[in-house]
Structure 1
């Protein structure tokens, strides 16, 4: 999924927004009250979809356009409100429209908390259940939902939760919307379990790749080479290619961590080098026109080993594919570790993930490791955010991450490197970020990535 645009009319009764999203980074900026977080909540309401998010905010029309498949055909989700009913509409890539209506039960949390509003919870739960059963809602939930981070920070950090707030949490968990847990440590336990599962899946995939590689090498070893020709061979070129073959094989040996074979292969290539030098520098006949024994002995060795060199080329190709696949399996964890360590560097810490998937914190220049639960609140938040970005299943499928005010958990020096670290952690993801932090927007090229909601 890639988001294209969002349009909203009479949001909060007076705001109109028209926003175009970039393929990579889009920053929603503006003064306090300009509607940055509101827009993100409405996106969440449309794309999950969530009745509670849609019923919380006043609007007449909201619509998000996106592409959801490789064909790049535009789809959309829209919602209309007349104050009494909500109409939710989905238009698929073939322009087929699905629309359903549902009564609007107002449930403003702020008014409820201040005692200025009463909510009929029985009626609200009944309407939410009906909303979840709508055919249009079910179709939207079949889409690849973006990852939403930070939209519920203000609710979740309050230890005193009213029933409507608990309803928000339980509904979002049912919809698999990513939110901060009631405590950061609970969320860290979830992240740790996610890493354990990832390591187990990676190990299984690595065994499968290893079996495939062994099978390819074994089959290649027993292939019969036919139609061998010894005429018109450029031995000088073969000698030059031999060096490249050895270089490539050495690289493969390094990647596969079988360095004990290096000496054996080196002896083999030195022998072949001597053979080709003889074939290059001598002729078949001696000066007296009699056969040259050295030449023909070298030619015999070449005939015996030439097919072996061709097999080595194939094995190098299989090994490079194997190494690349293994690297791809490990890439998410490596990117996560490298991204987080950008922030931890100045404090003399670094995280590492062991072979069991345990996330540990190591103090530089020591062998001591600490638990991630011993980190500061800001450091824990950072690990949570980058773990969700890199490993959240829906995010990997949808390739969209929506983040609200990340600077609330980042000091200034972290804000300066935050975006670069995000893109390193998940380079294919479309990021939509609401912020008013100058340090996050400091790079000149980011000026063209901003949508200023103050001016809309």
Structure 2
């Protein structure tokens, strides 16, 4: 997927030209109220998501977006031409999409009156299904192949919204929080499934280890090198993962390692007068050592699988006061107060909800290249949270390109060289 290299808008507010040359990592668009920063990010988002309602509303005549990939020399581009038509209630909008600079553009126009009305009137999934049937692929299908875009503007939406599943109206923030919570459940479930598959892979290795296999290390050599305490702790961890109670294995485990310690002492003293018990425990130890090695590899792989989730929880818990976030057995976010009570997610403060939404969106990007665009993400956030916001987002997804329209110098923080001031852009 691609990042945005540059955006050029002609006819911005009717007569002005606007151009951004974005950084690959962090970008801030600043300016006083009415300077056009929200309009600028809306244009970028509408262009890359084929939002024709917004493209109709916003003032421009041409948008040129150049994209770039870290792993490829291709230079995709998206050009949108908009022209008013006095005979129709909407402008003509034509997309030219190139997957590389050398290729001919894919031109997608919706000049047909019926299609124009449909694209503006009906939900996107209905429109895409119908247009796909008619012309093979849509603008949004083509754009989705070029870049991933996260657009966060919960506080710019209308103040309330009727949810058919609720008995009363809910705010745009609560609606977004509810949507995010559902997406997080699916994401955590996916991680859990991958973790379970890794554990099943280890179980398979346990059974296969009972069969003959080649080994480059003689059993007596393995016994000499083994750390008895570490080996014992690892086996206790394995038994715990298999849900074997300590009372069911402790005496046998102690007996095994007592016998192993005696056999190991004989080997170190070069006493080869090994009895049947010594030989048996040494041979078994080589197999156990192999299983422990496989277990440790499995643990490392599981840590990698759950690292995004654990990083997210660590960051959000470090920012919260008197509350702790965790994941319950249903893969839902669970909030526990300092007094040990469970707090429903809708009972969070407005700032806590905003923080959870901003960080949660970054987590759901799954460390993939995303263009993360937000309008005033600092709303309702404490100054201390604003100061660490971008660095925390980068910790959750270091592969995102952040483009924020903001009033807050605290959000900009140490990234003052990544600022685009709308007052000096024209």
TM over 0.5: yes
Instruction: Identify if the C-alpha distance between structure 1 residues 319 and 450 changes in structure 2 by more than 3 Å, giving closer, same or farther.
Output: farther
Residue of structure 2 equivalent to 1:288: none
Name the structure 2 match of 1:436. 407
Distance 1:65 1:307 in 2: 64
Tell me the distance in 2 between the aligned counterparts of 1:68 and 1:319. Answer: 38
How many matched pairs? Answer: 393
Aligned-pair distance for 1:373?
Answer: 1.7
Check conservation: 2:77, 2:98, Cα contact below 8 A.
Answer: yes
Determine the C-alpha separation between the residues in 2 that align with 1:421 and 1:401: 14
CA positional deviation for 1:91: 0.7
Shift in CA distance, 322/146, structure 1 to aligned 2, threshold 3 Å = same
Show structure 1 runs of 5+ residues with no match: 106-121, 162-180, 283-293
The Cα of 1:376 is off from its aligned counterpart by 1.9
Question: What is residue 455 of structure 1 aligned with on the other side?
Answer: 424
TM-score normalised by the chain length of structure 2: 0.77
Distance 2:341 2:215 in 1: 60
Q: How far apart are the structure 2 equivalents of 1:156 and 1:68?
A: 36
Shift in Å at residue 307 of structure 1?
5.0
- 1:99-156 CA-to-partner distances (Å, cap 9, x unmatched) read 2334599xxxxxxxxxxxxxxxx99624647996465613224445311111x63232
The answer to whether structure 1 residue 184 and structure 2 residue 173 are counterparts is yes
User: Structure 2: which 5+ residue stretches go unaligned?
Assistant: 86-91, 163-169
Q: Which residue, 352, 359, 364 being the options, matches 2:333?
A: 359
For the residue of structure 1 that corresponds to 2:9, the secondary structure is strand
What residue number does 1:88 align with?
95
Residue of structure 2 equivalent to 1:297 = 274
Offset, 1:202: 4.2
Q: 1:398 deviation in Å?
A: 4.7
Q: 1:399 aligns with which of 365, 370, 374?
A: 370
Task: Please point out which of 193, 200, 222 is paired with 2:182.
Answer: 193
Q: Which position in structure 2 is the counterpart of 1:156?
A: 158
In structure 2, what is the Cα distance between the partners aligned to 1:333 and 1:450? 30
Question: Does 2:226 correspond to 1:242?
Answer: yes
Aligned to 1:379: 352
Q: Computing the radius of gyration over CA atoms, which structure comes out larger, 1 or 2?
A: 1
Q: Choose from 296, 314, 318 the match for 2:290.
A: 314
TM-score, scaled relative to structure 1: 0.72
Aligned-partner Cα distance in 1 for 2:112–2:33: 28
1:50-449 to 2 correspondences below 5 Å: 50-67=51-68, 70-71=71-72, 73-84=74-85, 85-93=92-100, 95-96=102-103, 97-102=105-110, 125-126=117-118, 128=120, 133=131, 135=137, 137=139, 138-150=141-153, 153-157=155-159, 183-225=172-214, 239=224, 241-243=225-227, 247=230, 250-251=233-234, 253-254=236-237, 257-258=240-241, 260=246, 265=253, 268-269=256-257, 271-282=259-270, 294-297=271-274, 308-345=284-321, 348-364=322-338, 366-391=339-364, 398-443=369-414, 446-449=415-418
| Cα distance in structure 2, aligned partners of 1:353 and 1:376 | 20
The 1-side partners of 2:5 and 2:348 are apart by 39
Q: Distance in 1 between matches of 2:382 and 2:202?
A: 47
